[in-house]
Chains A and B, each alone.
Chain A
Amino acid sequence: MNLFKISIANLLEKKLNSFLSALLLTLGIGMISLLLLLNKQLDEQFRRNLKGIDMVVGAKGSPLQVILSSIYQIDAPTGNIPLAEVNALRRNPFVKTVIPLSMGDNYHGFRIVGTTPKYVEHFNVKVAQGHMHNASMEVTIGSKVARQSQLKIGDEFSGSHGLDSEGEKHVEKKYKVTGIFEPSGTVVDQLIITRLSSVWDIHEHAEHAEENVAEVAHTELPGHADPEPDEEGKDVTSALIQFRNPMGLMTIPRQINENTSMQAALPSIEINRLFSLLGVGIETLRTLALIIISIAGVSVFISLYNSLKDRKYEMALMLSMGATRSRLFLMLLIEGLLLAVIGFFTGIIAARIGLWVFSKAAEEDFHYSLQKFAILPEEIYLFFGAIAIGAVAAALPSLGIYRLNISRTLAEE
């Protein structure tokens, strides 16, 4: 026999009350924990893919859309821009690298991105199997694409037009897998990477479907090994730009917006804007979670207060049998603390389940996965917060123990 055993028996005696209190705590803690997890992982994913990219140029439209489509591959691109204008940027002394991107096709929802070798270098991703594509219509696929689409080296597949898998298929020309990237935790994991020329080939072919195949094959010039393609009259979707020094940030975006058909979008600004938009929602949910936790505290308070009223005689009895008031106070405190601990752990587990469900959805829609279930440092504070709420909610009604008149209570009934 010990105080814990009595406390647990008391909680089980009032199953529904205990359940309600623990449930409310679970909800509140779970919501906060889930928000913390999502916030941290979204932040990580966004920052990791952002690293080193100072500016994105794309067709005029929403700058946020340009960023989302070009860096994170989650929104539709705004349109096309002439490759000549992109290449003109290379001549600017402030510009360090220009990585053109061309997208518009997918395979089972995984985007096929035409780009230069600089793109892969930028994310510092190595080829795990096979070798990097080095001719038109050859592709290297991301680790997640390989895992989910079951594509292997040497496999051929035809892409579908558009960015979701329902698009019309380009059956005439097939891509060939030559390599698979190692998992990197970046956007490359979910992409099929090929040369810019592949994307042009596919679409010229589609546009001139009636022309004979020989002519199409003719466009595949040996000169394609050139890492900086400069074809006149070609379009790309967007380009990722790195500056040599921060001065570029001051002048180039304005020049581009004023003097070219393209628009410049700055990831740092757009992502901060996105987060402040999301922030309103997150703030609301966090407030809601805090309200739920407070209600949980009140619920613990009320259920202990009521059960103490019912158990007044029991308390007087235990006092008459030799219990000290502090001992009974501790017993009641343990009841509150047990509820808090139960609420905390079920909340933390619920948040992980929530994250897992959310991650499934995010993976289906955007191919991003958010699978990190470790305890966050903030959750340790949350633990102490829950303990404090349980302790206060239990202590307030339990102080009545110190005022209980044993003789009168025993004589009353």
Chain B
Amino acid sequence: MISSSQLQFAYSPQKKFSFPDIQCNDKETLLILGQSGKGKTTLLHLLALLLTPESGEILISGKPVRNLSPREVTAVRARHIGIIYQRPHFVSSLSVLDNILLSNFLADQKEDRHKVKHLAAQLGFSDHLAKKPSRLSQGEQQRVSIARALMNNPSVILADEPTSNLDDDNCHRVIGLLKNQSASIGASLVVVTHDQRLKDEFPNQVFL
């Protein structure tokens, strides 16, 4: 579960953002729609604890994160938040398998190869585990990054424009998988996008 209230953030005195309040319970989904320049990525980074808001409150699994130390913030992010970026980025020197296992390693969790295989089978990239991520297509890469975000069973999954580089087929496939997987681990799924194709997929929507 994730919620926020009265979030404000400023890059500079001229460039200020005030965001509407957000509430997404476990197993629910939320679509945040907005044109570029409206602070979509800023909001996502605030929710992902990558940025600290000027004012306002964020609750993750019902707990406030305002007064945590940087190290605690890192630990909360690693254990409770899975992030999927607009462009899937990987550690280019490692194989797909190792990139996914990296989630476990960096969050100090036990490496669960079994789970990787299971996710790979469900997301349809079992044949590519030993390859370098750069050899995969965009759609495949995005599916790998979904698997990576799910590895630590996060309570919140945040996706930043997960479909904007994908064609219609891949778009629907990726969103379907994302919804299924996050529902299966009981996480809240928050998607930030300007992609109008996703409008009909999500009952709960917020406009920036």
State the A residues within 8 Å of B (CB).
Answer: 1-2, 5-6, 9-10, 12-13, 311, 313-314, 317-324, 327, 406-407, 410-411, 413
Contact = CB atoms under 8 A, between A and B. Distances in A.
CB-CB nearest 10 A-B residue pairs: A322-B78, A13-B93, A9-B93, A322-B106, A1-B105, A407-B50, A322-B107, A321-B106, A407-B45, A323-B106
A324 B83 CA distance: 17
A330 to B, nearest CB: 13
Given A321-B107, A411-B45, A314 B89 contact: yes
Interface string B89-126: 11111100010011111111001000000000000000
A317 B91 contact: yes
A9 B133 CA distance: 13
B207 to A, nearest CB: 21
6 contacts: A1-B101, A5-B98, A9-B93, A313-B89, A322-B75, A407-B50
B102 A1 contact: yes
B77 interface: yes
B71 interface: yes
A313 B94 CA distance: 15
A13 B50 CA distance: 29
Given A407-B45, A407-B50, A411-B41, A321 B93 contact: no
A152 to B, nearest CB: 63
Given A322-B106, A413-B87, 19 more contacts: A1-B98, A6-B93, A6-B94, A9-B93, A9-B94, A9-B98, A12-B93, A318-B91, A319-B74, A321-B102, A321-B106, A321-B107, A322-B74, A322-B78, A322-B108, A324-B71, A406-B50, A407-B45, A411-B45
Contacts of B107: 321-322
A10 B93 contact: yes
B10 interface: no
Nearest to B83: A320
Interface of B: 41-42, 45, 48, 50-51, 71, 74-75, 77-79, 83, 85, 87, 89-94, 98, 101-108, 111
A5 B90 CA distance: 16
A411 B89 CA distance: 12
Q: Which of B45, B50, B51, B83 has the most CB of A within 10 A?
A: B50
A179 B15 CA distance: 100
B51 A318 contact: no
Contacts of B108: 322
Contacts of A410: 45, 50, 85
Contacts of A413: 87, 89
A313 B90 CA distance: 9
A12 B92 CA distance: 11
A25 B165 CA distance: 45
B15 to A, nearest CB: 13
A160 B78 CA distance: 85
B130 to A, nearest CB: 13
A8 to B, nearest CB: 9
A6 B51 CA distance: 27
Q: Which of B78, B93, B103, B104 has the most CB of A within 10 A?
A: B93
Contacts of A411: 41-42, 45
B51 A407 contact: yes
B50 A318 contact: no
Q: Which of A5, A9, A319 has the most CB of B within 10 A?
A: A9
B151 to A, nearest CB: 10
Contacts of A1: 98, 101-102, 104-105, 111
A324 B92 contact: no
A412 to B, nearest CB: 10
Contacts of B103: 321-322
A193 to B, nearest CB: 65
A13 B106 CA distance: 21
B102 A318 contact: yes
A75 to B, nearest CB: 58
A323 B105 CA distance: 9
B93 A317 contact: no
A314 B172 CA distance: 27
Nearest to A11: B93
A413 B103 CA distance: 21
Given A406-B50, A407-B50, A411-B41, A320 B77 contact: yes
Contacts of B51: 407
A321 B104 CA distance: 9
B87 A314 contact: no
B44 to A, nearest CB: 9
A328 to B, nearest CB: 10
A366 B93 CA distance: 53
A314 B91 contact: yes
